[in-house]
Amino acid sequence: MASLQRFTWSAQDVQGHAHQGDLTARNRRAALAQLRAQGWLGIDLRPVAHPTWRAARATSARDTTVLTRQLATLLGADVPLLNALVLMRETTPQAHTWALLEQLHRDIRGGSSLAQALSQHPKQFDALYRHVVSAGEASGSLGLLLDRLATQRERHESLSAQLRSALVYPLAVVLVAVAVVAVILVWVVPTFESVYGGFGASLPALTLALLGLSRGLVQHAHLLVLGLVLLVLAFARLRRASWFVAAWDRWSLHWPVVGRLRQRAATARWTRTLSTLLDAGTPLNSALVSVAGASGHRSFELASVAMAQAVREGSALTAAMQRCSLFDPVVLQLTAMGEASGSLSALLAKAAHLNERELETQLQGLSGLIEPVIIVVLGLVIGTIVLALYWPIFELGQVI
């Protein structure tokens, strides 16, 4: 028996009204015959490709943000939800995104709400995302809340990219510098050592130290490589332990420069997310529980759970935030003003905006400062190596 193939179709009835759906048939000709027998006109028939490993993989965070922005824009233009999903599906170039939109469209046509359809894809749409969508559907403001959610995700991704750029660039330069120095010590310095051995003269202390470092590196290279591999594997394993993640995140907040940047980034995301949830009509204690999983930082996650418990027991949000010692006085002051005036959501959004601007300013300053500092440090390292290698030659030239 021949296998059946799945098709999606769109057509018009005799009154000119648009309809769409899906069906299974042996081939394209059989599918067209079915539709024509039902009286449809202007039939557009498309086969549904079998999902490959590439199509089945989860969409990235960036893809999800783009989908959110597109859907918010279409709903804001009063395009019906099902039609919006069809338009997005027809314009997406990625096979995995096409498959995702097709599944969402099929689920909603089957009677599910958008939030229920999204719940079938937890890797792409987290609990916070689904909660905002559910609130938007219940209040009739889905397009508005999706627009705010897209804005929040875009700002978070922009700040994360700037933070990664500010930290990865110097790290990459340092790693390259370490590799270059290692090459000099392993292959270049031993050549000079064999030359100096023929002089029979005493060498400066700096040169002796460099030669000793080179001999140690050559003799124990295998142990160093093994130790580095074991260290990386141990760190990767520890990163899966919740106690280590909590301790690492708490410790990272006290790092020079970097700790302050991470704290501002986490604060901006926390306040922005909480503001979005409150705008969606979520009660404060429930919003704090939801924002815990979306904070992106273990210390803020644990603090959010503690704050939710304190709020349930009758504490004010500002007092609960003060006890966790994670927020700047400005954030606390804006939160207190929001609670007193009944505009907590708006002032939390203001606090997020201030932290985002301050973080951007600090990242720009850090990026401008890191490059000259790295150049000076590398210059000193390379200059010290060159001086140690050629100092005996200078002294020999003076003797001759």
Task: Give pLDDT tens digits for 220-271.
Answer: 888 888 998 999 899 888 888 877 877 888 888 888 877 888 888 889 889 9
More confident residue, 161 or 104: 104
- Confidence check: pLDDT of 331 > 90: yes
Q: What is the pTM of this model?
A: 0.66
- Cα-based torsion angle of the residue sequence 283, 284, 286, 289 in order, rounded to the nearest 10 degrees: 160
In the chain, % of residues over pLDDT 70: 92
Residue 200: pLDDT band with limits 50, 70, 90: low
Tally of CA atoms within 13 A in the half-sphere of 29 that contains its CB: 0
Question: What is the predicted pLDDT for the residue at 68?
Answer: 92
DSSP character string of 170-184: HHHHHHHHHHHHHHI
pLDDT tens, residue by residue, 60-93: 778 889 999 999 999 999 999 999 998 998 888 7
Instruction: For residue 321, give the nearest of 312, 313, 308, 393 by alpha carbon.
Output: 308
What region, left, alpha or beta, does residue 3 occupy, with left being phi > 0 and alpha being psi -120 to 50 degrees? beta
Instruction: For residue 390, give the nearest of 195, 177, 183 by alpha carbon.
Output: 195
CA 144 to chain centre: 24
What the block records as the tokens of 347 is: 């002032």
More confident residue, 337 or 15: 337
Cα distance from N-terminal residue to C-terminal residue, the chain:
97
What's the CA gap between 86 and 91, in Å, rounded? 9
Sequence letter at residue 317: L
What's the CA gap between 293 and 128, in Å, rounded? 8
Query: Which of the 8 DSSP states describes residue 343?
Result: -
